[in-house]
Amino acid sequence: MAERKPIKQYLMIPGPTPIPTRILAAMNHEMIGHRGPGFSKILGEVIDGLKWAYQTKNDIMVYPCSGTGGMETAVVNVLSAGDKTLHVNIGNFGDRWIKIAKTYGVDVTDLKIERGKACDPKVLEAELAKDKNKEFKAVFMQQNETSTGVINDVKALAEVVHKSHPDALVVVDAVSGLLAADLKTDDWGLDVVCSGSQKAFMVPPGIAAVSMSAKAWKAYEKSTLPKHYWDIKNQKKFADKGQTYTTPPESIVFGMHEAIKIIKEEGLENIFKRHENNKDIVRNAMKAIGCKLLADDECASPAVTAIFPPDGVDAEKVRSEIRNRFGVELAPGQGDLKGKLFRIGHLGYVDKLELVATIGALELLFNQLGAKVEIGKGVKVALETI
Amino acid sequence: MAERKPIKQYLMIPGPTPIPTRILAAMNHEMIGHRGPGFSKILGEVIDGLKWAYQTKNDIMVYPCSGTGGMETAVVNVLSAGDKTLHVNIGNFGDRWIKIAKTYGVDVTDLKIERGKACDPKVLEAELAKDKNKEFKAVFMQQNETSTGVINDVKALAEVVHKSHPDALVVVDAVSGLLAADLKTDDWGLDVVCSGSQKAFMVPPGIAAVSMSAKAWKAYEKSTLPKHYWDIKNQKKFADKGQTYTTPPESIVFGMHEAIKIIKEEGLENIFKRHENNKDIVRNAMKAIGCKLLADDECASPAVTAIFPPDGVDAEKVRSEIRNRFGVELAPGQGDLKGKLFRIGHLGYVDKLELVATIGALELLFNQLGAKVEIGKGVKVALETI
């Protein structure tokens, strides 16, 4: 039989993730007054749920924007022009945060780590030790770096900062990492943490959330960077009334409201384990068929895996062919890695059997694109890893 | 029979407006790769539709944010700190734009107009004449001021600017005005125009659109205000590939895609007439029952009407009672007008018969709150105005 055209889509990018029908249904909701009591109740419950997911008692604000907006919010609310910051930079989103900070005149030190590696806490320790006058006001880091599929040991990195620079803020981009892996905002002393609706929350993009510790609020009072839309104190004034400063993307808030119920039903530990298992399925299978992975096992992301295709197979060809023939949407390499690798997103509403199926499709494709791969070998390993 | 509790909501605020089920249904859509060809096609069609609605060939960029984000985008992309601007300020959103500009160190002249009035082009002409060295880089104005229910004559105001200050940019907040009233971006020479999904487009909040004329792009090249998230040249780089810089709120884009079809089916002239008629229904009826209106007839907004309740009746009491007893959601007074008046939003997906029903509910309520109003008098006038 001739190969049939795909009738279904398998969205395997590191966000937006597929959306559960329960969440889509919750979003299919009429608009209500965003300054009225009905909306306040829903928004309050969303923020309580975010606090549960962040494992924090800190304030959390919700902004109408993408994850990058959350990253900009983190910069402009705690810094002033000329402030010195250290940026743990393990990939494209590390680069982006540096670019944002420099845009506002922050004096950035770029602790650039080889792509595909996490930041070794000892490397951070050594870098901080060079700053003898303790001038760094904040240390920025990604929990999970989407472009490379690498997860940082935020707990260990934060400890190093606290020990070396007790006055510095720890600022974490948890956009693609939150819920995919453990993040204890309060226990680990994380001052500012940003996240996005479209990742492991399984909700469409449109909302970023940003948490602020008491220490971060103190830094706010000294911060002179210009801010209006991102001004978090202004946002808090409205949050205290159960509102957002500007008109909230209500549909996304309704989606988050349902998402909070779903993730609470599953429980944090189970969510972390599910993502961990997704990672193992993909990595074990891809290794079995001889593909090189960008990230080492010890820093491999539970949210996304960056994979080099077999020798002689073009990564972008893999992406276009698997889309056209199997309906599987994979992510490209980013920055310097564009064209060299593809990425499988396995966070949020991505199921283990969908990963098995994707691996099967890749086995077929690799062969048809000229690489010799034993059909079923990766699939078997994937199944055995479940 | 005892009065029954409401089982339906009538959302009569000036955005978000009610959403047609066709748009809700379109939004009830799985996520797709936002860097893939399928999404690019949809986004391209949305931008083409926006150009149709703006009556422009200028570039239009789409941002994940609320309308205020669009206003901030307009400021940071064409100005530098110390630049002189003139702000036609007819209400709360005029105040907000001034606050944004000042946040970034812009040297603002506040042309504050009495609340409830539009800016007389002669007043603008006189103000511009004071600037003998033609130092104003831009003139900012609201098309429609949501807080007072007043519409400016943007065509006439722009003409005055072009004549007096041919080098100055005309920057227009059309968030609540676009589609509710005519706005000819190209014919009137409007350099930057911002809008939002949640107004007359009848889509939930989550997207702002910003247009840029060739003159505005030239101003961009000289602008040194710090910008990353709002950087419109960066946004354009992605727009040229059919993408947005950061992850787009896909659901809202799907909603806009359907909205464009709906508004094209109705046609611009019919949409303007519908809003004009909505305005007349509300104003004629409220006048008939003796309510004072904030805005004069000649500058009355087709999108929202600000109404003083009868003497002795508390505006906030009207809002809470009409919500609890009739399911009608009205907007409060904003700023200095809080508590003094209420506003009926009649833009977007608000039907004439819903306005008639709302007027009936107000007649009942006013009587029960102590004012003597002939039941049915306003309703009759409303029906005769249709």
Ordered DSSP codes for B62-73? EEES-HHHHHHH
* B5 part of a folded domain: no
Q: What is the pLDDT of residue B335?
A: 84
Asked if B332 is an interface residue toward chain A (Cβ–Cβ < 8 A), one would say yes
Measure CB to CB from residue A64 to each of B11, B66, B104 and give the nearest one.
B66
- Are A30 and A179 part of one and the same domain? yes
Closest CA–CA distance from residue B19 to any residue of chain A (Å): 6
Q: Do A34 and B16 touch (CB under 8 A)?
A: yes
Tell me the residues of chain B between 6 and 65 that have a Cβ less than 8 Å away from chain A. 9, 11, 13, 15-19, 24-25, 27-36, 64-65
Q: What tens digit of pLDDT does each residue of B167-184 get?
A: 999 999 999 999 999 999
Among B209, B28, B317, CA closest to A20: B28
> Is residue A164 scored above 70 in pLDDT?
yes
Evaluated on CA atoms B134, B135, B138, B141, the torsion sign reads negative
Q: What is the pLDDT of residues A123-154, one digit of tens each?
A: 999 999 999 999 999 999 999 999 999 999 99
For residue A244, give the chain B residue with the closest CA: B66
Partners of A332 on chain B (C-beta within 8 Å) are 35
* Residues above pLDDT 70, as percent of chain B: 100
Q: Please list every residue in chain A whose beta carbon sits closer than 8 Å to the beta carbon of residue B35.
A: 13, 331-332
CA proximity to B89, closest of B76, B103, B73, B108? B108
Q: Is the pLDDT of residue A4 over 90?
A: no
**Average pLDDT taken over every residue of chain A:** 97
Enter the tokens of residue B334.
């904003």
Task: Say yes or no to pLDDT of B2 above 80.
Answer: no
| Torsion angle of the four alpha carbons A315, A320, A326, A331, in this order, in degrees rounded to the nearest 10 | 60
Q: DSSP letters along A82-122, please?
A: T-EEEEEE-SHHHHHHHHHHHHTT-EEEEEEPPTT-PPPHH
Band (B336; pLDDT cuts 50, 70, 90) = confident
pLDDT score for B200: 98
Question: Using one digit for the tens of pLDDT, what is the confidence trace for B339-359?
Answer: 999 999 999 999 999 999 999
Q: Cβ of A333 under 8 Å from any chain B Cβ?
A: no
| B135/B83 Cα distance (integer angstroms) | 8
**Same domain assignment for residues A223 and A91:** yes
Express each pLDDT in A279-325 by its tens digit. Answer: 999 999 999 999 999 999 999 999 999 999 999 999 999 999 999 99
DSSP A221-280: HH--S--STT-HHHHHHHHTTT--SS---HHHHHHHHHHHHHHHHH-HHHHHHHHHHHHH
Nearest one of B211, B219, B220, B218 to B188, comparing CA atoms: B211
Shared domain check, B288 and B234: no
Q: Are A100 and A126 in contact (CB under 8 A)?
A: no
Please state, as a whole number, how many other Cβ atoms lie within 10 Å of the Cβ of residue B157: 24
- Residue B163 within a domain: yes
CB contact under 8 A, B323 and A32: no
pLDDT at position A1 is: 60
Same domain, A114 and A186: yes
Are A251 and A354 in a shared domain? no
A1 within some domain? no
Calpha distance A247→B315 (Å, rounded): 22
Q: What is the mean pLDDT of residues B57-73?
A: 98
Min Cα distance B290 → chain A (Å) is 27
CA distance B190 to B154: 9
Residue of A nearest to B251 (CA): A204
- Of B241, B264, B287, the one marking the end of a domain is B264
The per-type count for chain B, helices as H runs and strands as E runs, is 13, 14
Residues A381/A337, Cβ–Cβ less than 8 Å: no
Residue B260 shares a structural domain with residue B283: no
Assigned domain for B3 exists: no
CA B350, chain centre distance (Å): 15
- Cα separation, A361 vs A326, whole angstroms: 7
Residues in chain B: 386
Mean pLDDT for the stretch of residues A241-250: 97
Q: Are strands A207-212 and A192-196 parallel, antiparallel or unpaired?
A: antiparallel
Q: Are residues B289 and B251 in the same domain?
A: no
Mean pLDDT rounded to a whole number for chain B: 97
Domain containing residue A104: CATH number: 3.40.640.10
Domain match, B227 and B289 both: no
pTM of the entire predicted model: 0.97
Domain containing B237 equals 31-264
Q: Is residue A36 part of a domain?
A: yes
> What stretch of H or E contains B227?
none
- Domain endpoint, select from B264, B287, B314: B264
Query: Which amino acid is located at A243 in the chain?
Result: Q
Please determine, for residue A109, whether its predicted confidence score (pLDDT) is greater than 90.
Answer: yes
Domains identified in chain A, total number? 2
Contact with chain B for residue A121, Cβ under 8 A: no
Q: What is the mean pLDDT of residues A169-198?
A: 98
Q: Report DSSP letters for A189-210, one per residue.
A: T-SEEEEETTSTT---S-EEEE
C-beta atoms of B246 and A323 within 8 A: no
d(CA A33, CA A36): 5
pLDDT at position B162: 98
Domain boundary pick from A216, A233, A264? A264
Cβ pair A28:B24 closer than 8 A: yes
What is the nearest CA distance from A163 to chain B, expressed in angstroms? 33
Chain B residues inside the 8 Å CB shell of A100: 228-229
**Strand-by-strand arrangement of the B292-293 sheet:** B10-12, B328-332, B342-345, B304-308, B292-293
Same domain for B341 and B241, yes or no, is no
Residue A195, phi then psi, degrees to nearest 5: -145, 170
Specify the CATH number for the domain of residue B334. Answer: 3.90.1150.10
User: Is residue A49's pLDDT more than 90?
Assistant: yes
A296 shares a domain with A164: no
- The verdict on B205 touching A (C-beta cutoff 8 Å) is yes
Within a domain: B252? yes
**Is B288 within the bounds of a domain?**
yes
B contacts of A245 (beta carbons < 8 Å): 68
Taking an 8 Å cut-off on Cβ atoms, the answer to whether B229 and A72 are in contact is yes
User: Residue B320's closest CA among B365, B372, B367, B374?
Assistant: B365
- DSSP states of B339-385 as a string? TT-EEEE--SS--HHHHHHHHHHHHHHHHHTT----TTHHHHHHHHH
Structure token pair of residue A219: 């830094």
Report yes or no: A103 at the B interface, CB cutoff 8 Å.
yes
> How far does the CA of residue B163 sit from the closest CA of chain A (Å)?
33
pLDDT number for residue A335: 84
User: For residue range B214-236, what is the model confidence (pLDDT) as tens digits?
Assistant: 999 999 999 999 999 999 999 99
pLDDT at residue B1 tops 90: no
Cα B297 to Cα A109: distance, rounded to the nearest angstrom = 60
What number of other Cβ atoms are within 10 A of residue B216's Cβ? 25
pLDDT band at A336 (very low <50, low <70, confident <90, very high): confident
Query: Is residue B119 a contact partner of residue B111, using CB atoms and an 8 Å limit?
Result: yes
Instruction: Point out the residue among A31, A67, A251 whose CB comes nearest to the CB of B246.
Output: A67
Is the domain of B67 the same as that of B181? yes
Residue A223, token pair as written in the block = 């911060």
Instruction: Tell me the nearest-neighbour CA distance from A132 into chain B, angstroms.
Output: 30
Place of tokens 């599910």: A274
Let me know whether B109 and B243 are in one domain. Answer: yes
Using a CB-CB cut-off of 8 Å, the residues of chain B touching A205 are 34, 64, 247-250
- Whether B23 is in a domain gets the answer no
- Please answer yes or no on whether A228 and B67 come within 8 Å at the CB atom: no
DSSP codes joined into one string, B78-101: T--TT-EEEEEE-SHHHHHHHHHH
